[in-house]
Structure 1
Amino acid sequence: MNDMDLERRNLKPATSYTSTSLHGAVKLCLDVGGTSALSQLPPQTIPRRFQDVCQQYAEHPALVWETPGTGGDGWTTLTYADYQRRVEQTALMLINVGLEERSSLGVLAFNCPEWFFAELGALRAGAVVAGIYPSNSAEAVRHVLATSEATVCVVDDSQQMAKLRAIKDTLPRLKTVIQLHGPYEAFVDKEEGYYSWKQLEEKTYSNDLKKELLERESRVYANECAMLIFTSGTVGLPKAVMLTHDSIVFNAKSASASMKDVQDGEERMVSFLPLSHIAAQIFDVFLGLEHGGCVTFADKDALKGTLVRTLQKAKPTRMFGVPRVFEKFQERLVAAEAKAKPYSRLLLSKARAAVAEYQLAVMAGEKPSIYAITKYWLASRMIRPIRQMMGLDHCRSFLTGGAPTSDEMKNFFLGLDIALGECYGMSESGGAITLNTEISNLFSSGQPIAGVAVKVQEPDASGKGEIIMRGRSTFMGYLGQPEKTKETINADGWLLSGDLGYFDQHGNLVISGRLKELIITAGGENIPPVHIEELIKKELPCVSNALLVGDHRKYLTVLLSLKAKSDPTTGIPLDDLREETIEWLQEVGLNQTRLSELLSIPADLQLPNDTAAMSAALQITAEPKLLEAIEAGIKRANKNSISSAQRVQKFALMPHEFSLATGELGPTLKIRRNIVHAKYAQIIERLYN
């Protein structure tokens, strides 16, 4: 491709598919997808795509958020025309306070419209966006800002500002910190380098600054880095995944093309998952744009119980959530059903069973009879009020990903006429790799999205091997880490996912485990832990977390935590058991309602304290009936083992559920295996002595 072609395609000259510098550019995999219409789309920068969408849907609603005390119904709606104006004003103010080209803008805030304005404004100004999890410590925030070469950081409130205040002197490139929401400390807007968003946004900026913005935007290329996603590793500091403008735009277009019944200009989504994660970026920001849709922002307490209120307001047509989000819905519904009259519970149970039976038959390709259709129609009328209560009665697709979704949960929601389509993706793939929109079973992750080539490398006799993929959405590299980049993406642009899987007879990708998470027993057998953990959880519905242990050991063991309630404010697990756990216990002849009673441990544990949790774990003396029932469940799970080496021999109960607050789960709610292994090392050793 000559320089004229590059200029026409808004591409910067590049000789490699990888780069680890914010000033570099990469070759794009434009040869993937053949002659399909999608693969022929020219590369595009995010600012250019944003401008096109805003012009096309100028008077359509773009963003909605709650603004109590402002009159009206307490909600503000922004059209695409106003959205574009707010982004331009943000770009001007960011340049004014020192945002440099090819540096990054750090954003340390919960989802809000200003997050979107800051991101798109920074990209117009020729910078890169680096999201930071609000739960990060000051030291973790410093790592992100230092690694990403940040010159400006936007923070949520005074709590987040305190983190920046503590570390700003250690970050010589960081010029400015902007606080979005009050209350403000005395130094904000008074000391150099500290500002309130409102004051900056209300300023009038000069024509010279507007001219500089246009000049900067003209120097933005589609094959340069637009975004940094910091991977939440289980050990060590996270790596910065570099994604190009074209990667993000193309992945959103490809995902959109794979969805059914898309109604441009009419789609509605709710933003509540962390925007520092690639899934929320693609689904909230860029699929919202791609559909000309409307995004409603949930509040900070969304995952602590207020999400349903936002869903009822927004009435989304598409929803994406990690499994834990749907699990919280399930917990609330089970708890509400437990309080209903016996006759109502029986009717609802039969209706759910009828709906699930019909859905499974349709998935299997069966042609339903008139009787089956009538039965489903009647049952679905009984189920509809539940979906309305959840605010999901207009939702046409439900996607879940980020962690395995249990069969039990999928079947539960299927009974509510909600088919959870498990999808597969990763930060390094620029978002989605597969989407399960044509659901034909409950165990696969769907088919590869358009324009993405997916293969199983070096498959074994059963067809399982490492999943590799190639396409325009593949990441550039890990910022400043060329060796790590070479380990993950080869010279031809193939991304080595580190995940194990295979294709079923319908061409759906099935994920079977992580290559790095493989347990290699003392006998040399490779064992994927997730599969065995899910077998156990299926047999024991009282179990919340199951973590398999056995690397370099003679046999397998498992750590189990029981389902209990959690504090809606802190997320810390409570002593009270969940309703489904209590029901399961009653079935085995136990009537305890508190974990401390069941395990004979103190009821007032200081759970964020690892020492206290470890001490409690060593003190556990569980009810004999509980131990017998769990052992029986594990034996049933062992019957589905592929070999004798994959059978679990022993188990240990944990003193609480794994959670983000207590450190066993990462920001995306995946189990941090190395952390759990270290925290409960004494318990693990006791299982092998």
Structure 2
Amino acid sequence: MNDVDLRQSIDSGKLKPATSYTSTSLHEGVKLRLGETGPLSELPPTTLPQMFREACEKYAEHPALTWETPGAGDQGWTTLSYKDYQKQVEQVALLLIDAGLEERSSLGVLAFNCPEWFFAEFGALRAGGVVAGIYPSNSAEAVRHVLDTSEATVCMVDDAQQMAKLRAIKESLPRLKTVIQLHGPFESFVNQESGYYSWQKLMEKVYPISLKEELLCRENRICANECAMLIFTSGTVGLPKAVMLSHDSIVFDTKAIDLSMRNIELGNERMVSYLPLSHIAAQIFDIFLAMQHGGCVTFADKDALKGTLVKTFLKAKPTRMFGVPRVFEKFQERLVAAEAKAKPYSRLILAKARQVVAQHQMTSILGEKHSIYSSSKYWLASRVVRPIRQMLGLDSCKTFLTGGAPVSDEMKNFFLGLDMPLGECYGMSETGGAITLNVEITNLFSSGQPICGLEVEIKEPDANGHGEICMRGRSNFMGYLGQPDKTMEAIKEDGWLHSGDLGYLDEHGNVVISGRLKELIITAGGENIPPVHIEELIKKELPCVSNVILIGDHRKYLTVLISLKTKSDSKTGIPLDALREETIEWLNELDLHQTRLSELLGISGDLQLPNDAAALTAALAIKAEPKLLEAIEAGIKRANKNAISNAQKVQKFALIPHEFSLATGELGPTLKIRRNIVHAKYAQVIERLYK
């Protein structure tokens, strides 16, 4: 049989026999919810390799991937067309089979975003494998857990630092045959010892026709209802669970998101890949949605979240952007700092312009008509704020999406004034990506309506309609690999996935999220309190505050831990002692003129906090300026006026000596606050609040 015959024989809609909608094995298929109502009801089951092939053939000459390559053309940048993208993936698929990737086993990828990540993903999928991304910040033991759980037979690592982790654990992973290092420098054992290779050496090999035939036969055996990807959830307790997503789940979620997007220019969309590809949001947005639109993905460098992201935006000129709230917070901090250095007259003009733009945006959001006068004012004001978008490299961006953590009203309004309305999204690994996609924004308090083909229901709502958000649809995950009990807890027999999130549906069907069931604080008096709402109220009253953590589970009253806004090291991300400009301005209004946090908190010497013990010691030694304490207390009292009940009023607070960050451990890989880490780190400070 020749190549053409083999390709024509591939049945993308083939389904493996299945008796259940769930599975916890890489070797089983699941039933699909086919024939549901809606625009996607007739979407046939499709494998990811088939989706990839169709995109590459449709957009063969369009640019697919762009990355910085020192010494390359176009001032150090390389661009790959979809036709060449497909060729690279085929070579990598052959490489992986030759390296020992078994069908229905996993390829572990321990690397920052790069073109090789994309090649390896589709190469593994074509070879009948499963993709398991690993956060580069994971410890060697955490990496071992992922590779062991995912039944990995091959692992790809970024560099020598990541290779060292694999070197330490490989002997404890009997199924793992080969480790491939993408980028140098290389240790002496690479390409010398069996099982350790460089990417370049394997890519240079010429593979026999028999291996190509094996690849096509493997691809012909892939079923759309089998597992394609494992997303490891970053839970607050215990080791991460492996979320199993089928080919059909990912294809369906991508198609549903596509239906929600507006003003798509097929073959001319541009995205920047910088969020971890081991997370479902980056997978859907960077890889599959870009491919669906024939778009071009530009890769940011490893320091993107430490300050170099704007450099990539200026190069790529993205048309769509997704970022977790912390990314937009960083932009806001940068812009506020730049504005603080401007002349008073310029600051006044910019403030007025932002106000006019925000009013125009709100009128549009509310569905009201614009008068000729207001439209003229907006036209002039938009010319004033446009250079800010240009400075960020976002002047061509048509959609700004954010999710993964709470988004403050203050931040939404700030970007509204820059003609950058943030559409808040809601999604989970367990739903294959998006649940809601707020592209056509109708309000600033919700996450928008459910995507096409997904049912959303509030289970056991209280008198106000608040309860657990549950969803059912074709994109729901298969199960947690090897954990049937956990799977049954998440998905019930009726097909409803229990999210663990609290919220309600407004009168228009928009999903409004109020917190997490696991984060729910139950006071000693028995009142259930979602912390996020109260934390955001306090931050709204105190612009100097960076982080607020509500405490009070099984306690008589509520308290909070508070950190102030400071600068951070652009290379390491470690919070510094220097206060941010907006914090200094706020302090000046209190007749306080400190510029360093240590001075403000009464701690001798520059704040250097290399570990948790040092941070705790500093927290216990705080003797803050009385005016600062009085101002914070006044802000909390103002926030308390909006409390739903007396039990939801904050009684005491304590300051802690630095902002939360990845480097200091309070933020996880997707920049969510790890509450249990904060509670453990400052346990002694918390106990003081209850004496």
Asked if 1:234 is matched to 2:250, the reply is no
- Counterpart of 2:526 (choices 517, 524, 536) is 524
Asked if 1:21 is matched to 2:25, the reply is yes
Any idea what the Cα deviations from partners look like across 1:108-147, whole Å, max 9, x if unmatched?
0000000000011000001100000011111111111111
Change in 2 beyond 3 A, CA 1:8/1:157? closer
C-alpha distance in structure 2 between counterparts of 1:72 and 1:468, whole Å: 49
Q: Which residue of 2 aligns with 1:478?
A: 480
Change in 2 beyond 3 A, CA 1:645/1:591? same
C-alpha distance in structure 2 between counterparts of 1:648 and 1:41, whole Å: 51
Asked if 1 retains the 8 angstrom alpha-carbon contact of 2:465 and 2:504, the reply is: yes
Q: Which residue of 2 aligns with 1:414?
A: 416
The alpha-carbon deviation at position 72 of structure 1 amounts to 3.5
Asked if 1 retains the 8 angstrom alpha-carbon contact of 2:575 and 2:661, the reply is: yes
Instruction: State the aligned residue count.
Output: 682
Any idea what the Cα deviations from partners look like across 1:241-296, whole Å, max 9, x if unmatched?
11001111111110111111111111110000000000000000000111111100
Any idea what the Cα deviations from partners look like across 1:596-654, whole Å, max 9, x if unmatched?
01101244444241111111110001100000110011011101110000000000101
Other structure's SS at 2:600 match? helix
Change in 2 beyond 3 A, CA 1:109/1:603? farther
Any idea what the Cα deviations from partners look like across 1:11-48, whole Å, max 9, x if unmatched?
1111111111111111112243x1x3312100100001
Q: Which residue of 2 aligns with 1:54?
A: 56
| Matched residue type, 1:498 | G
Asked if 1 retains the 8 angstrom alpha-carbon contact of 2:438 and 2:447, the reply is: yes
Any idea what the Cα deviations from partners look like across 1:61-90, whole Å, max 9, x if unmatched?
100111111243211111000000000000
Change in 2 beyond 3 A, CA 1:8/1:268? closer
Q: Which residue of 1 aligns with 2:435?
A: 433
| Matched residue type, 1:330 | Q
Aligned 1:140-179 pairs, distance under 5 A: 140-179=142-181
Asked if 1:687 is matched to 2:689, the reply is yes
Q: Which residue of 2 aligns with 1:3?
A: none
C-alpha distance in structure 2 between counterparts of 1:389 and 1:327, whole Å: 16
C-alpha distance in structure 1 between counterparts of 2:507 and 2:394, whole Å: 32
Asked if 2 retains the 8 angstrom alpha-carbon contact of 1:17 and 1:492, the reply is: no
Any idea what the Cα deviations from partners look like across 1:559-606, whole Å, max 9, x if unmatched?
111111111111111101111111111122211111101101244444
Q: Which residue of 2 aligns with 1:312?
A: 314
C-alpha distance in structure 1 between counterparts of 2:329 and 2:107, whole Å: 34
Other structure's SS at 2:75 match? coil
- Counterpart of 1:367 (choices 369, 382, 390) is 369
Other structure's SS at 1:688 match? coil
| Matched residue type, 1:247 | S
C-alpha distance in structure 1 between counterparts of 2:620 and 2:64, whole Å: 54
- Counterpart of 1:80 (choices 64, 79, 82) is 82
Aligned 1:256-271 pairs, distance under 5 A: 256-271=258-273
Percent identical across equivalent pairs? Answer: 78
Q: Which residue of 1 aligns with 2:455?
A: 453
Asked if 2 retains the 8 angstrom alpha-carbon contact of 1:225 and 1:242, the reply is: yes
Other structure's SS at 2:689 match? helix
Asked if 1:645 is matched to 2:647, the reply is yes
Asked if 1:107 is matched to 2:99, the reply is no
Asked if 1:252 is matched to 2:254, the reply is yes
C-alpha distance in structure 1 between counterparts of 2:597 and 2:424, whole Å: 32
Any idea what the Cα deviations from partners look like across 1:134-190, whole Å, max 9, x if unmatched?
111111111111111111000001111111111111111111000001111111111
Q: Which residue of 2 aligns with 1:203?
A: 205
Q: Which residue of 2 aligns with 1:490?
A: 492
Any idea what the Cα deviations from partners look like across 1:481-509, whole Å, max 9, x if unmatched?
11111100111221100001111122211
Q: Which residue of 1 aligns with 2:389?
A: 387
Please identify, of 600-609 and 376-385, the stretch whose mean Cα deviation from structure 2 is larger: 600-609
The alpha-carbon deviation at position 221 of structure 1 amounts to 0.7
| Matched residue type, 1:645 | A
C-alpha distance in structure 1 between counterparts of 2:82 and 2:73, whole Å: 22
Aligned 1:550-565 pairs, distance under 5 A: 550-565=552-567
Other structure's SS at 2:456 match? strand
Q: Which residue of 2 aligns with 1:377?
A: 379
Asked if 2 retains the 8 angstrom alpha-carbon contact of 1:9 and 1:43, the reply is: yes
Q: Which residue of 1 aligns with 2:326?
A: 324
C-alpha distance in structure 2 between counterparts of 1:444 and 1:276, whole Å: 27
Asked if 1 retains the 8 angstrom alpha-carbon contact of 2:55 and 2:292, the reply is: yes
Asked if 2 retains the 8 angstrom alpha-carbon contact of 1:608 and 1:663, the reply is: no
Q: Which residue of 1 aligns with 2:7?
A: none
- Counterpart of 2:221 (choices 214, 219, 222) is 219
Q: Which residue of 2 aligns with 1:30?
A: 34
Change in 2 beyond 3 A, CA 1:31/1:620? farther
C-alpha distance in structure 1 between counterparts of 2:152 and 2:280, whole Å: 19
C-alpha distance in structure 2 between counterparts of 1:189 and 1:433, whole Å: 45
Other structure's SS at 2:331 match? helix
The alpha-carbon deviation at position 660 of structure 1 amounts to 1.1
Asked if 2 retains the 8 angstrom alpha-carbon contact of 1:601 and 1:616, the reply is: yes
Asked if 1:613 is matched to 2:615, the reply is yes
Asked if 1 retains the 8 angstrom alpha-carbon contact of 2:12 and 2:47, the reply is: no
Aligned 1:617-632 pairs, distance under 5 A: 617-632=619-634
Asked if 2 retains the 8 angstrom alpha-carbon contact of 1:575 and 1:603, the reply is: no
C-alpha distance in structure 1 between counterparts of 2:606 and 2:35, whole Å: 60
The alpha-carbon deviation at position 7 of structure 1 amounts to 7.5
Asked if 1:292 is matched to 2:297, the reply is no
C-alpha distance in structure 2 between counterparts of 1:309 and 1:611, whole Å: 36
Asked if 2 retains the 8 angstrom alpha-carbon contact of 1:29 and 1:493, the reply is: no
C-alpha distance in structure 1 between counterparts of 2:518 and 2:605, whole Å: 37
Any idea what the Cα deviations from partners look like across 1:521-565, whole Å, max 9, x if unmatched?
000000000111111111111111111000000000011111111
| Matched residue type, 1:310 | T
| Matched residue type, 1:106 | G
Other structure's SS at 2:475 match? coil
The alpha-carbon deviation at position 357 of structure 1 amounts to 1.2
Other structure's SS at 1:257 match? helix
Other structure's SS at 1:582 match? helix
Asked if 1 retains the 8 angstrom alpha-carbon contact of 2:70 and 2:77, the reply is: yes
Any idea what the Cα deviations from partners look like across 1:319-339, whole Å, max 9, x if unmatched?
000001011111111111111
Aligned 1:506-517 pairs, distance under 5 A: 506-517=508-519
Asked if 2 retains the 8 angstrom alpha-carbon contact of 1:544 and 1:657, the reply is: yes
- Counterpart of 2:468 (choices 461, 466, 469) is 466
Asked if 1 retains the 8 angstrom alpha-carbon contact of 2:39 and 2:452, the reply is: no
| Matched residue type, 1:225 | C
Asked if 1:11 is matched to 2:9, the reply is no
| Matched residue type, 1:38 | L
The alpha-carbon deviation at position 307 of structure 1 amounts to 0.7
Q: Which residue of 1 aligns with 2:245?
A: 243
C-alpha distance in structure 1 between counterparts of 2:41 and 2:609, whole Å: 51
The alpha-carbon deviation at position 459 of structure 1 amounts to 1.3
Asked if 1 retains the 8 angstrom alpha-carbon contact of 2:12 and 2:223, the reply is: no
- Counterpart of 1:354 (choices 353, 356, 369) is 356
| Matched residue type, 1:66 | E
Q: Which residue of 1 aligns with 2:591?
A: 589
C-alpha distance in structure 2 between counterparts of 1:627 and 1:179, whole Å: 52
TM-score by length of 2: 0.97
Other structure's SS at 2:283 match? helix
Asked if 2 retains the 8 angstrom alpha-carbon contact of 1:608 and 1:661, the reply is: no
| Matched residue type, 1:233 | G
TM-score by length of 1: 0.98
| Matched residue type, 2:426 | Y
Asked if 2 retains the 8 angstrom alpha-carbon contact of 1:355 and 1:417, the reply is: yes
Any idea what the Cα deviations from partners look like across 1:372-403, whole Å, max 9, x if unmatched?
11101100011111111111111000000000
Change in 2 beyond 3 A, CA 1:197/1:8? closer
Please identify, of 104-113 and 6-15, the stretch whose mean Cα deviation from structure 2 is larger: 6-15
Segments ≥4 residues shifted beyond 3 Å = 6-9, 602-606
| Matched residue type, 2:86 | Q
